[in-house]
């Protein structure tokens, strides 16, 4: 099928590449000409395992293309997927400006019957508005239907999550639209859950917010474990054997980040408020996460008299391993607090996130290309991301390299007993 994909961020680019991999003829559209040229050269603008290889393969084989020419691309597309951003507004609501812009461009340029599919995360009822807006703005006499098809990608494994998804959610208001979406996904051979558009929109929010709740609950329990002398890892292990709970998302740490959970919890909270209802559980998750993000800094502040003129090692900058995304990364919150106190010798390491971090802190931080350089003669070390390069550091390395072996670990990557045996003053979460 001839498919156009609007937007080449995590949602749009991964979807477009995977559709091409399954045999569809795909053109990805972006407004940035430089970005388009980079993608045509086989370079992915985002760090995702396996994405660049599939981009090169499908572009070379002629199933995938990139362009800024939305007019020609929309003109005869059989299906158009919208994968543009819906960034958070100051009040927590979703900004639908990019959705509206693409919708207008579609309406003004399509010349054949077309299915428009919204993959972006949007408030419940948005697909209804998109369909009406497109129909109101149509230039040519064509039939247009809008469907909801939310993504459930985990950054760092987005390609795998698309090609091997646990389920495909499609929200439609007609059998014809449902059949077309089923045909698009038929080569994936994955379970399809077909519901109404509004239910589809809600499934996305309900799923992400449930996982955010689970993370915040475990972090809350971890904080209590510290006070009463329990070990959160033992607690999580005991909980995981209950099939009603499961073993995923029980890992305590310094909060969730990324492009989805922070934005989606606030958006659902806002949606409930707009409809005269309070989602108290989601509100609690948002509050717990905000406090959890700077827990390491607060712990260190209780121990240290000053952060000025001492070497501070920072291991990990991205919000989690496997991605170069910094959105809502706990490292940002903690480093901001450190800089406020006068910290002026921060040495940071991350295997893929440094270039993006330089856009935030171009001169305030010293960036190094391996963990050992960050640790050498350091007085204190913070661990913010669980990269293997960081996880594999031996306890004796901290002891050997650091001036003062003092480690604050926000991801619980090291063994308590091993750190103690090597004479390291070690603080983690819930242990």
The neighbouring-strand residues paired with 425 are: 406
Cα dihedral across residues 174, 178, 181, 183: positive or negative = negative
3-class secondary-structure state, position 47: coil
Angstrom distance (rounded) from CA 261 to CA 9: 17
The neighbouring-strand residues paired with 312 are: 346, 380
Q: What are phi and psi of 2, to 5 degrees?
A: -85, 110
Catalytic residue among 18, 28, 225, 260: 260
Q: How far is CA 264 from the centre of its chain?
A: 11
Count of all residues that appear for the chain in the document: 431
Question: Which of 6, 15, 14 has the alpha carbon at shortest distance from 68?
Answer: 6
Angstrom distance (rounded) from CA 199 to CA 194: 9
CA distances from 354 to 56, 79, 338 (A): 25, 38, 18
Contacts of residue 356, Cβ cutoff 8 Å, sequence gap at least 6: 318, 324, 325, 326
Q: Is residue 300 within 8 Å of 334, Cβ to Cβ? A: no
The neighbouring-strand residues paired with 380 are: 312
Residue 314 neighbours by CB distance under 10 Å:
27
Angstrom distance (rounded) from CA 96 to CA 74: 20
Instruction: Give the number of C-alpha atoms closer than 13 A to the C-alpha of residue 366, restricted to the C-beta side.
Output: 15
Angstrom distance (rounded) from CA 188 to CA 168: 10
Contacts of residue 80, Cβ cutoff 8 Å, sequence gap at least 6: 3, 4, 5, 6, 74, 106, 110, 114, 115, 116, 117
Residue 229: both structure tokens together: 């002398």
Q: Answer yes or no: 260 catalytic.
A: yes
Q: Which residues are catalytic?
A: 260
């Amino acid at each position: 099928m001839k498919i156009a994909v609007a937007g080449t961020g995590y949602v749009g680019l991964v979807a477009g590449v995977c559709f091409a991999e399954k045999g569809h003829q795909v053109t990805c559209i972006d407004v940035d000409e430089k970005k388009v040229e980079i993608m045509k050269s086989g370079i992915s603008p985002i760090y995702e395992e396996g994405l660049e290889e599939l981009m090169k393969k499908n572009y070379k084989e002629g199933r995938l293309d990139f362009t800024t020419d939305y007019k020609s691309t929309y003109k005869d597309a059989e299906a158009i997927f919208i994968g543009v951003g819906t960034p958070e507004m100051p009040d927590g609501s979703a900004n639908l400006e990019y959705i509206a812009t693409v919708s207008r461009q579609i309406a003004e340029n399509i010349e054949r019957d077309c299915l428009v599919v919204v993959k972006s995360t949007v408030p419940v009822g948005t697909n209804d508005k998109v369909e009406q807006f497109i129909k109101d703005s149509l230039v040519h006499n064509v039939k247009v239907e809008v469907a909801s098809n939310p993504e459930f990608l985990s950054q760092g494994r987005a390609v795998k999550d698309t090609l091997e998804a646990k389920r495909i959610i499609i929200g439609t208001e007609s059998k014809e639209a449902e059949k077309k979406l089923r045909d698009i996904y038929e080569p994936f051979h994955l379970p399809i859950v077909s519901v109404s558009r509004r239910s589809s929109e809600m499934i996305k929010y309900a799923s992400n917010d449930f996982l955010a709740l689970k993370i915040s609950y475990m972090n809350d329990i971890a904080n209590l474990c510290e006070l009463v002398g329990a070990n959160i890892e033992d607690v999580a292990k005991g909980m995981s054997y209950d099939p009603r709970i499961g073993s995923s998302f029980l890992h305590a740490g310094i909060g969730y980040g990324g492009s989805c959970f922070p934005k989606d919890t606030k958006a659902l909270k806002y949606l409930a408020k707009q409809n005269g209802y309070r989602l108290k559980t989601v509100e609690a998750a948002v509050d717990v996460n905000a406090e959890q993000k700077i827990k390491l800094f607060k712990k260190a502040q209780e121990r240290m008299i000053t952060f000025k003129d001492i070497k501070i090692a920072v291991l990990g900058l991205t919000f989690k391993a496997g991605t170069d995304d910094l959105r809502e990364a706990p490292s940002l919150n903690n480093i901001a607090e450190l800089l406020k106190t006068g910290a002026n010798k921060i040495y940071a390491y991350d295997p893929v996130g440094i270039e993006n971090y330089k856009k935030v802190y171009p001169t305030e931080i010293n960036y190094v290309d391996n963990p050992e350089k960050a640790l050498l003669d350091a007085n204190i070390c913070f661990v913010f991301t669980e990269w293997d390069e960081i996880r594999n550091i031996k306890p004796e390395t901290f002891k050997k390299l650091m001036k003062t072996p003092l480690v604050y670990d926000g991801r619980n990557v090291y063994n308590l007993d091993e750190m103690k045996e090597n004479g390291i003053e070690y603080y983690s979460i819930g242990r």
